[in-house]
Each structure stands twice: as C-alpha cells, then as structure tokens.
Amino acid sequence: MFDLFRSREKSVRYVLGFLLGLVALSMVITLVPGYSGLVGGGESNPQIVAEIGDEALTVLDIRRIVDREMRGGSIQRGMESIYIPMFVKQIVADRALAFQAKQMGFKLSEQELSKTIASLIPQLFDASGKFVGKETYGAFLAQQNISIPEFESSVEKQALATKLISLAIEGVVVTPAEVEEEFRQGNEKVKVSFFVLGPDKFRAQAAPSEQEMREFYERGKSAYKSPEKRGYLIFGIDEPTIARSFTVPDSTLQAAYMQQQERFKTPDRVEARHILLMTTDKPAAEVEKLKVKAQDLLKKLRSGGDFAQLAKDNSDDPGSSVKGGDLGWLVRGQTVPEFEKTAFSIQPGQISDVVTTQYGFHIIQVTKKEQARLRPFEEVKDEIRQDIARDQIYNRMQSLATEIRTALIRSAAEAEKIARDNGIAVARVEAAGQGDPMPEVGVSADFEDAVRNLPQGGVSSIVPIGDNKLVIAQVTAIIAPRQSTFEEMSPQIRAQLTEMRAQNLMQDKMNELEARLKENPDLAAAAKLAGVTVTTSEAVARGGQIETIGPAIQIEEAFRKPVGTMLPPLRLPSGVAFVKVIERIPADLTQLAASRAELTNSIKARRAQERREMFTDGIVNKLIKDKKVKIYEENIQKLVESYRS
C-alpha cells in the first residue's frame, strides 16, 4: 500500500491509474481536449457510438481506451470484440446515471467537491491539511493531460451518479435467518471417496499398427500440409554492444554536474520499514481486534522480535511485506501526514508507537536518516555518464541500423562487413515458419509483420525488439507450402490415433462402471474392476479444494445428498471421477456469532451490487425509451471490425 508513495513517479502513476479508471473510463467525454458536446447524430455520423443527453461518445474516445489498455497489457489483441461493447456499455451507464441525477435536481456543493478531490488526491494537501495551491494542482493534472475544469466536471458527475446510486441501495436488510443460511453454506463440510479413470490406462492397448496409420493418413491427406517457410539473414544491433565503444571524459561529466546541481540536491529523507494492519472497509469489531493485534506486535518488537519476519508474517502491505516491511527512502510529501510526522520525528533504530492512518495501524522503524544535502560528484558521475551516453548511443544505433539496411539492399556481403567492423551480431536462419523463435529476435509479432510479405531478397524496415535492440532482416529463401509425407506426419498420426482410441476405450469402461454402480454402489469393487485405487478426501467446505478433483464446488451436489450417494461421473482434465459421499459434517453454529457481522456486511454488499445493477439497467432503459440515450450498434460493430482488419 505505502509502496505506492515511494517516489514522485510512482505517486503520479497511482493517481494516473485512478484517474484513468474512475474518470477516463466513466467520464471520457469531458477529458477530450477541444470536445464541445454533441457533434451530430449517430444515424448519420459513423464516428458516434452513443449519445447521452446532449453529449456524444465517439469512436475516438473508445479507441483511446482500447489502445491504452492494449499498451498496458490488459487486453490481448483479438479480444476487441469482447471488450469494446463492454467499455461502451459501462461508459453509457455511468453517463446515464450522471444525466439522470442532474435531471432530478441533484447538486454537489463546493465543499463536497473539495472533500471528494482531497480524498482522491491527498498529495494536494500538506501535513497540516492546507491546500498546496491552484498552480500546483493545475500542473499535477496537466501531467495527465487534464485541465482543472475538465477534471472537476468529471468528479462532479461521478459524485452525482454515486449520490443517485446511494438512494437505490440504501435500506438493504439482511435477516438473521439469511445470515445463518450463509454461514451454513460456507461452513458445512463433506468427505468423499473417489477414483479417477483416465485415458492413460488404455493407451498401451490403443496403439495403432502402421497399416492403420497409413490408412488414416490417406483418408485425411489433404489436411497434412507443411506451411511456407523462409530463410533469413538477421542483423541485431543492441545497446550494450554500442555502449562499449562510447567514453565520456571526466571534464564533460564535471561540466554537466555543475550545470545540474539542483538535480542532485536531496531533501531530508528517512529510510524506513513498517508493519501495516489494514482496516479499510473492515467492520468496527474487527478494527478493535486489529488494534489489539498491533499492540501485541509492538510488545514483541520491543522485546527483541525480528521486525522483518514479523512484517512478512503479519503486514497487509503487499508492496513491502515481502521485503520485511522495507519502504526504502522516503521524503516529505510522499506518505500520508500521520505516517510522515512519525517517520521524521523518531531516530534511527527507534520503533514507533502504533500509528493510525486512513489505511490502518502502522508500526514504523526508521533505519537511516539523512539531512538535506548536495550529492558529491563522485557519487553521481556514473548517473551523469549514463544520461549523456544514452542519447548518443540511441542515435548511433539508429544511424548504424540505417547504414546496414542501406548496404543490405545493395549487397549482403557489404552489410556483413559493416556489422563485423562494429561488433554487430549476424545470424542466418535456413528455414523458419510463422511463430518460430529466431536468433536476435525470439518470437516477435512486430518482426513477423515486417517480413511477412517481403519477396526473396527483400529487406525489412528497422524493427525495435524490446527496449534496447534494433533488428534488420533480409529474406534469403522462400520455401513454398507442400504436401507433408506420411513419414513426416507419422509421429503426429500415431499420437492422434492413440488418443482417440484411448478416449473411446475409456468411455466404454466408464459406461460399464456407471451402470454397475447404479445397481451396486460398491466403489471399491468398481475401482478394482477398473484397476485403479480409491482415495478418501479430507473434510472439505464448498470453497475448499480436493486433491486430484480440484475445487469442491464441482461436487456441490455432495453437500445436499445423503451419505452413501453416488454422484454423476465428473469430467476432469485427467479423466472421469466416480465420487461417493461418505460423510456430511454440519456447520458449527456455535461459531456463528463471531462471523455474524462480517457475513451480514458481505450479504449486504452482494445485495447492494445486485440492486445497483438492476437500478442502473432500469435508468438506462428508461432513458433509451425516452430517447435521451441512443446507442448505435452498427457503429460499434464497425469499430470492432476495424480492429479485426
């Protein structure tokens, strides 16, 4: 949690992530620079996917979201047809709620708006709660390409929509009987006996003869094709190779140091570690228990307990717990005020009292402390050298790649000589198919796109590979697709036929065992007939796991059927499981009281979400009926198709 605030860059990424999630997705229209409202009806304008009131949701808006998510790896190429309609639906729903809230007269006061913004971006307020100023606020938002009016308009609309939703979900009631049933469902357990019949039992007797394989090959001969393959000459220009030829004299480094001294000034800072017991969204009773736990941990630490181990075992901060609570160096303004005040007031080696923040209870230890200073030249000269060299190295990589590519168009021998003279790697590939890994490249969609349509002798563009390599390739051979011979396909055909036969034999045996167990549910006798052993599980709840079978919810019927019941055969990746209920263990209702508050909150949250979804759907459908919301499915489909092509 606090690891998010370790540096300015991380802080910006955190808030940017929040803005993109809360604002850009929900209120994307107001964040588009130069947007001026409705730009023409979607019936006649293919660039509009939906209209909400007098505002339009455009193809460009959705493209921005999809492309951003692709760059971040959240969406895989080819999945656009699933995600694009989802994005449109979510944005339309959020905008419709905001529109309806305004229609109903909902308003947000200046005080409410300020409080909401403070909760979203606490960095805009100093340790005493004082606002850092409009200039800093605007500069912060400008880093995300958002103006203050755009941001505040979006926050206001989201807050109004939240107010409207709150009306819909308030008053959710959970009865004691419902809590008890939830407890029973979650805590009753079963034991089962089972055996698994898999195709591996039948593979030995399923092996085909060569004659059968040849007949199988002849019947499906047209399907066995060797795809086109290509030969390549590949040049890989990487940053470490080019960097070895660069030197930067100390005089240049000294001059850069004198010019950039502000950059190397460090403020007061502390190196700290902490243990966090998170209280966010926890009921009051649990918060009290966590407070007691924090005090117990503090006693252990002050009695000589291992801070790092206690942090690993107890801290709820996922970013630092695995590092023994280590947060690294912190400067003022990076953490919430309560945390900062304590961290900068205690001495190295000292352990704080329990500190309460909006995240929960912290125990802090400062390991080092430094006053503001100018870092000396010797300490930073390697950083300066890297900065100076980086641009020069990149420019040299680009110019060398261009030189090699130009030479390669004329003559491979000339290009190879330039490469040798500069220590550049050259690789030859005799025959590679699409998707095959290649030297200097690995597997790269960008490289495949660059060479796919080149003729023999053709030279690719300069292709970036990863963060520090450029590649150029020449197609040296094109091997046309051809009919694969029986000898080439023999291993594949053998495996395919064996698996088909093994599956058929397994199905026959499964049918035989299922019929036998219906007449006589003697699991041990059926297992002996199948040549397998019976396994008995531990007592397991619905949310648990059964070794070999997997999630217990797969045999949910076992929680409802009498002891001795044979369940229907269960298909698993490893085969078919035959399962018998041997014991049912009811939930221990004496433990219900301890879980009642948590269960009540859980049921309320689930009901609230269900009611939220129903309410939102109702609002959207009503606004569609009243022609206040219009969704243009044809334009959405065209957008999806544009990604496919």
- Quick one: pLDDT at residue 71? 73
Nearest alpha carbon to residue 574 among 195, 191, 204:
195
- Quick one: pLDDT at residue 277? 94
Q: Give the mean model confidence (pLDDT) for residues 612-620.
A: 90
Rounded-to-integer distance, Cα 223 and Cα 239, Å = 45
- Quick one: pLDDT at residue 18? 33
Given a cut of 90, is residue 497 above it in pLDDT? yes
The residue among 372 and 51 whose pLDDT is bigger is 51
Question: Binning pLDDT at 50, 70 and 90, where does residue 2 land?
Answer: very low
Lowest mean pLDDT among 72-81, 265-274, 613-622: 72-81
- Quick one: pLDDT at residue 408? 95
pLDDT tens, residue by residue, 438-467? 999 999 989 999 998 999 999 999 999 987
Lowest mean pLDDT among 67-81, 334-348, 353-367: 67-81
CATH topology for 268-371? Chitinase A; domain 3 (3.10.50)
Nearest alpha carbon to residue 578 among 192, 194, 193, 200:
194
How far from chain centre, in Å, is Cα 435?
25
pLDDT tens, residue by residue, 117-170? 888 888 777 766 778 788 778 777 776 667 888 888 888 888 888 888 888 787
- Quick one: pLDDT at residue 41? 54
SS3 464: strand
Rounded-to-integer distance, Cα 124 and Cα 140, Å = 9
Nearest alpha carbon to residue 480 among 228, 232, 230:
228
- Quick one: pLDDT at residue 389? 75
Q: Give the mean model confidence (pLDDT) for residues 241-268.
A: 82
Average pLDDT, the chain: 86
- Choose the CATH number for 189-206+489-585 among 3.10.50, 3.40.190, 1.10.150, 3.40.50: 3.10.50
Q: What percent of the chain has pLDDT over 70?
A: 92
Given a cut of 80, is residue 35 above it in pLDDT? no
CB count within 10 Å of CB 604 equals 14
pLDDT tens, residue by residue, 225-243? 888 999 999 999 998 888 8
CB count within 10 Å of CB 411 equals 10
The residue among 166 and 182 whose pLDDT is bigger is 182
Question: Binning pLDDT at 50, 70 and 90, where does residue 264 land?
Answer: confident
- Fold matches, 2-170+608-644 and 268-371: no
Given a cut of 50, is residue 352 above it in pLDDT? yes
- What is the domain partition of the chain in residue ranges? 2-170+608-644, 189-206+489-585, 229-245+383-480, 268-371
pTM exceeding the 0.75 threshold for the entire prediction: no
- Total H helices, total E strands in the chain: 22, 22
- Quick one: pLDDT at residue 42? 55
Q: Give the mean model confidence (pLDDT) for residues 4-11.
A: 34
Integer angstrom CA distances of residue 475 from 284, 438, 471, 502: 69, 13, 13, 44
| Residue 567 · residue 559 · CB < 8 Å | no
Encoded tokens for 145: 């390409």
Please return the burial class of 242, using the count of CB atoms within 10 Å of its CB with bins 0-12, 13-18 and 19+: buried
- Quick one: pLDDT at residue 645? 61
Given a cut of 60, is residue 349 above it in pLDDT? yes
Given a cut of 80, is residue 197 above it in pLDDT? yes
Given a cut of 70, is residue 9 above it in pLDDT? no
Given a cut of 90, is residue 624 above it in pLDDT? yes
| Residue bearing tokens 């055909």 | 493
Question: Binning pLDDT at 50, 70 and 90, where does residue 33 land?
Answer: very low
Rg (CA), the chain: 33
- Quick one: pLDDT at residue 31? 30
Given a cut of 50, is residue 640 above it in pLDDT? yes
Rounded-to-integer distance, Cα 572 and Cα 480, Å = 41
Under CATH, which number does the domain 229-245+383-480 receive? 3.10.50
Question: Binning pLDDT at 50, 70 and 90, where does residue 6 land?
Answer: very low
- Quick one: pLDDT at residue 145? 66
Integer angstrom CA distances of residue 501 from 294, 317, 395, 515: 62, 53, 61, 21
- Quick one: pLDDT at residue 82? 87
pLDDT tens, residue by residue, 413-439? 999 999 999 999 899 999 998 889 999
Q: Name the strand (E) or helix (H) holding 571.
A: strand 570-572
Nearest alpha carbon to residue 96 among 157, 30, 40:
157
Q: Strand pairing of 326-331 and 355-356?
A: unpaired
Nearest alpha carbon to residue 387 among 211, 498, 513, 264:
264
- Quick one: pLDDT at residue 127? 67
> Which phi and psi angles does 435 have, rounded to 5°?
90, -10
pLDDT tens, residue by residue, 46-104? 889 999 998 888 888 888 888 877 777 777 777 888 888 888 998 899 889 989 988 88
Under CATH, which number does the domain 2-170+608-644 receive? 1.10.4030.10
Q: What percent of the chain has pLDDT over 90?
A: 53
- Quick one: pLDDT at residue 545? 94
- Quick one: pLDDT at residue 256? 84
pLDDT tens, residue by residue, 278-320? 998 788 889 999 999 999 999 999 999 999 999 999 999 888 8
